[in-house]
Amino acid sequence: MEKGYLSIVLHAHLPYVRHPEFDDFMEEDWLYEAVTETYIPLIDIFESLINEGVKFKVTISLSPTLISMLTDPLLQGRYIKHIEKLVELAEKECHRTSSQPQQNGLARMYLDKFKRARYVFAEKNGGNLINAIRALNDTGFVEVITCAATHGYLPLSSVNKAAVRAQIKTAVDCFKKHFGKTPLGMWLPECGYEPPDDKYLAEFGVRYFFVDTHGILHGSPRPKYGVFAPVYTKNGVAAFGRDIESSRAVWSAEEGYPGDHNYREFYRDIGFDLEHDYIRPYIHIDGTRINTGIKYYKITGKTNDKQLYDPKAAAEKAAEHAGNFMFNRQLQTEHIHDFINKKPIILSPYDAELYGHWWYEGPTWLYYLFKKLHHDQDTIRTVTPSQYLSENPKNQVITPSMSSWGWKGYSEVWLEGSNDWIYRHIHEAQNRMVELAKTHFNCQNGALKRALNQAARELLLLESSDWPFIMKTGTVVPYAVKRIRDHTIAFTRLYESIKANAIDEGYLAGLEGKDNLFPEIDFKMYAEGRS
């Protein structure tokens, strides 16, 4: 007997990294890796499930920056060159390992994988994966939603509500352009929420969003059902809270499934392991070693003596873990149902890039999980948040607490010693953008309007939460610092030229060619109450 619901949400996001001024830019590989290792494998498993008659529901959030990159002709062309090189490398690996049966089998596995990615991307979808994702959305099995425009961390923009509104409006407009309708839900970047920012979601027709667990539990008044039922805000938008138990099963470094010793080791790649002269044509143009995606070893354990990866054993372990996840959700649902006397919804949100990129077997795990949920039990049913709301329209009204996910749960990842210096520049740019929008609201001049719209793009890119996150985690810090400085300088130069009525159209055209996302953007959105 059905006793509850499971809602799996995958958040797909990458910062806008596009550098036409370089032939080979290392950070663009983030997109190419995600396409090969996450997006195409997920598309494949969802299509397979549909073709096999498996009834499932999953929600995918696509950030507008990711949508913009996936639909950009320059990056589409560069991805095809990237995957062609990987096919060539895998063919060389098949030859190099011909006397090593186990490694040769893995080399052939990667060759098949890369050829499949090339086919799905270039031939099946004409270089535009949004076509495939839109088709999945149209089936009803996959619900595609959006995220704030450039993944701007909204609570730290709360000093300028026009900037918060612009992040949301731009996202909704982008989604409408590519999917032909208003998104039903929105993933607030980093699950960062501050009341009453949901009023902008309501304004643009978004029906629901997500918060971390304590965002619901610390709400006012206290939620009657905890995180096991959504709540409505006073603006009529539903907030769903993350379930800790199901999240821990996948996220936890200590007890999560991805750490199993049978799974593929992420940190052993031939881009670092093989002779430099051999691998040089397939790494960065300056000779810097990078991940190629060809990895021959399994996690093995806390040792440097790694054993060769066994795909069959890993797939069997993924099926076992899928069964374990299902069993635990059944027990959890039955317990909660009997306790609250209501069908609970278990909300399990994850970064999409975990599946396939970081956790190579993640898409396989999802495939087995949905099959098992369909065939092997009737206690829980997978739903999307909008489906749940349609079936359960009456919910408690509370004000969720200001919250985020990440360390300590209250913005500390995005505001601490390594990155706090950026906000004086962001806030000043936000104030100046509002000033420009109000002053030039009725602008008809072509060059001036272009400059105003480009200023809005530079501000949105400056606001991306990825830059302070990178500074906090200490990965590619110089790049993040450079992006903050570049967008601040570009915005400031545009602002001063607009104020002086001295627009440099050559400089403007250069910015438009590089930072070219959101072509239909309208700067007037910053004049809140007038647009």
For 502-515, the pLDDT digits (tens) are: 999 999 999 999 99
Q: Which residues pair with 146 in a beta bridge?
A: 62, 186
Q: Which residues contact 13 (CB under 8 A, 6 or more apart)?
A: 61, 62, 63, 65, 66, 147, 151, 189, 351, 352
Looking at the structure of the chain, the number of domains it has is 2
Contacts of 106 by beta carbon, 8 Å cutoff, 6+ apart:
97, 296, 308, 309, 311
Strand bridging mode 185-187 / 142-147: parallel
Q: What is the mean pLDDT of residues 11-39?
A: 97
Residue 277 has pLDDT above 60, yes or no: yes
CATH label of the domain that carries residue 498:
1.20.1430.10
Predicted confidence band of residue 255 (pLDDT cuts 50, 70, 90): confident
HSE-up of residue 379 (Cα within 13 Å, Cβ side): 18
251 pLDDT band (50/70/90 cuts)?
A: confident
Mean pLDDT for 443-459 is: 96
Of 378, 408, 438, the residue that ends a domain is 408
pLDDT value at residue 530: 54
Structure tokens that stand for 292 in this block: 């190629």
- What confidence score (pLDDT) does residue 450 get? 98
HSE on the CB side for 311, CA within 13 Å?
A: 14
CATH number of the domain enclosing 233: 3.20.110.10
In degrees and rounded to multiples of 5, residue 504 shows phi and psi of -85, 100
Q: In this predicted structure, what is the pLDDT of residue 444?
A: 87
- Span 294-345, pLDDT tens digits: 999 999 999 999 999 999 999 999 999 999 999 999 999 999 999 999 999 9
Catalytic residue (one of 33, 190, 197, 458) = 190
CA 144/CA 137 separation, integer angstroms: 6
Residue at token pair 């995180």: 227
| Boundary (domain end) residue, out of 351, 386, 408 | 408
For residue 14, pLDDT over 80 is answered with: yes
Q: Domain limits at 321?
A: 4-23+56-71+129-264+309-408
Q: Contact at 8 Å (CB) between 39 and 131?
A: no
* Domain annotation covers residue 159: yes
**Interstrand relation of 208-211 and 185-187 (parallel, antiparallel or unpaired):** parallel
Give Cα separations from 317 to 287, 345, 372, 405 (angstroms): 37, 27, 14, 29
Please report whether residue 135 resides in a domain.
Answer: yes
**Do 358 and 400 share a structural domain?**
yes
Q: For all residues of the chain together, what is the average pLDDT? A: 97
Inside any domain, residue 149: yes
Choose, from 91, 273, 351, 486, the residue flagged as catalytic.
351
Q: Would residue 351 show up in a list of annotated catalytic residues for this protein?
A: yes
Residue 305 annotated in active site: no
Q: What percent of the chain has pLDDT over 70?
A: 99
pLDDT at 531 over 70: no
**516/16 Cα distance (integer angstroms):** 10
Beta strands in 275-396 (DSSP E): 345-351, 380-382
Q: Name the percent of the chain lying above pLDDT 90.
A: 98
Distance of CA 360 to the CA centre of its chain: 17
Mean pLDDT of 47-53: 98
- Closest C-alpha among 268, 269, 263, 270 to residue 298: 263
> What average pLDDT score do residues 53-67 get?
98
Residue 54 is predicted with a pLDDT of 98
Whether residue 473 is predicted with pLDDT greater than 90 in this model: the reply is: yes
Same domain, 350 and 217: yes
CA angle centred on 372, ends 369 and 377, rounded to 5°:
130
Q: Convert the pLDDT of each residue in 407-443 to its tens digit.
A: 999 999 999 999 999 999 999 999 999 999 999 999 9
Q: CA quadruple 279, 285, 286, 292: dihedral positive or negative?
A: negative
